[in-house]
Amino acid sequence: MAEAQHCFSIDIRLAIGCPLVSHSAGESLMTTNLKGLVLSGGRGTRLRPLTHTAAKQLVPVANRPILFHVLDNLKNAGVTDVGIVISPETGNAIKETVGDGSSWGMSIEYITQSEPLGLAHAVKVAQPYLGSDSFVMYLGDNLIGSGIRNYREKFEAAAAPASILLKEVDNPSNFGIAEIDQHKRVIRLVEKPKEPKSNLALVGIYFFTSAIHKAISKISPSWRGELEITDAIQMLLNDGAEVLSDQVESWWLDTGKKDDLLTANTVVLDEWVKRQIDGEIDSKSHVTGRVRLGKGSRVVNSTVRGPVVIGDNVFVENSFVGPFTSIGAGCRIVSSVLEHCVLLENARIDHVDRLEDSLIGKNSAVVKEQKNHQAYRLMIGDDSEVLL
């Protein structure tokens, strides 16, 4: 997805992993073995240089990896068997971070896609794991502001071979677009149409039965050299199958670029964070609003204005930390001003007049040496040093 779209009617509880609500009498219960397929390969070129050394799905939103939010949403939809498609370059990092899935009560298997040859190619690689089971395919760098349980229930009740999630967008020429009829059945899919007949973009969440495997076997690589999932869905349509759709009413964000990721961080912080002070605040400091301060962290002669999340063992001194900022564990901020930023673990900000709209990688330092007063917007990778 080329750009992020969002609105702010939201049930963030499902997106950030709150416990499942038990079903009362009369509510539908899901009994089929719907598997999850999370795509966490790719090269993350739009988030470079950060993704030269890290998987884009592990970049944090509100101090939790994006992939964790995806797994939360699958778990809350009752999906407990999940295959994660990984690349050779970043697969080990994802394995080490996610583990065997026990933290979610899931069983997770890892599937290596040797080259990023398209979404349909990822499904083809995963076919031995998926077998004849239906599954939900979820792009590992996409976030939506609602759960997917209702969409799952509709898909299973309809018994159609596919159901896709759609979102109204202002710039449909930048997306894969679906044309639907009055019954929400998909008529046609068009990739980035020059003259779009619809403004309904494909969100990165798809429900399929095993019929999709036969459709994929019939398609050829696109001009990009990839097996496109849109071509496979179109093949289902060409063969007379019914493809259903649902529209996502809450926000949807593709976190593939820096600004999109910062927007996602803002939205999640705004809707989720509550005040929780586990660290220390000295008498000269002012920590106001919805701020989470982790264990072992210290705020000295500084102002922190929420919503802000500060991880464990962070040191803030003689500084101002403004709203919509996430600070990873072990960071150090001295004599600086920052707002609307994401700092990964062990980053250091030293004597910077103003840092905003910035994404700073792990173990990196931004140090001000000049005496001029200036605001900075930066995106730097892991293990870097920037002298201003």
User: What would the pLDDT profile of 217-256 be if each residue is shown by its tens digit?
Assistant: 999 998 888 899 999 999 999 999 999 999 988 888 766 6
Mean pLDDT of 74-87: 95
Mean pLDDT of 263-273: 86
Name the DSSP class of 92.
H
Mean pLDDT of 290-297: 96
Q: Which CATH architecture has domain 274-387?
A: 3 Solenoid (2.160)
Structure confidence at residue 286 as a pLDDT band (50, 70, 90): very high
Tell me how far CA of residue 79 lies from CA of 152, 224, 270, in angstroms: 10, 32, 27
Structure confidence at residue 32 as a pLDDT band (50, 70, 90): low
> Nearest 10 degrees: CA dihedral of 355, 356, 362, 364?
-20
Q: Per-residue pLDDT for 113 more than 70?
A: yes
Nearest CA to 69 out of 90, 40, 111, 32 is that of 40
Q: Per-residue pLDDT for 154 more than 90?
A: yes
The per-residue pLDDT of the chain, averaged, comes to 86
Mean pLDDT of 302-321: 97
Structure confidence at residue 296 as a pLDDT band (50, 70, 90): very high
Q: Per-residue pLDDT for 15 more than 70?
A: no
DSSP string, 207-243: EE-THHHHHHHH----TTSS--HHHHHHHHHHTT--E
Structure confidence at residue 182 as a pLDDT band (50, 70, 90): confident
Amino acid letter, 271: E
Structure confidence at residue 327 as a pLDDT band (50, 70, 90): very high
Local structure of 100: helix, strand or coil: coil
Q: The tokens of 271 are what?
A: 């809707």
Write down the pLDDT at residue 256: 62
Structure confidence at residue 141 as a pLDDT band (50, 70, 90): confident
Helices marked H in the chain: 12-15, 66-76, 91-98, 119-130, 149-158, 211-218, 229-238, 258-272
Amino acid letter, 28: S
Nearest CA to 6 out of 261, 251, 267 is that of 251
Q: How many angstroms separate the CA atoms of 289 and 292, rounded?
A: 10
Q: Per-residue pLDDT for 205 more than 70?
A: yes
Write down the pLDDT at residue 261: 79
Write down the pLDDT at residue 255: 64
Q: The tokens of 22 are what?
A: 């038990």
- Domain borders along the chain are 12-269, 274-387
Tell me how far CA of residue 215 lies from CA of 105, 236, 241, in angstroms: 32, 6, 11
Q: Per-residue pLDDT for 53 more than 60?
A: no
Write down the pLDDT at residue 17: 40
* Prediction pTM value: 0.82
Mean pLDDT of 299-319: 97
Domain 12-269 coded CATH 3.90.550.10: yes
Write down the pLDDT at residue 282: 97
More confident residue, 176 or 349: 349
Nearest CA to 348 out of 357, 338, 340, 374 is that of 338
Long-range contacts of 187-196 (CB under 8 A, 24+ apart): 187/237, 188/234, 188/237, 189/230, 189/233, 189/234, 189/237, 191/222, 191/228, 191/230, 192/2, 196/172
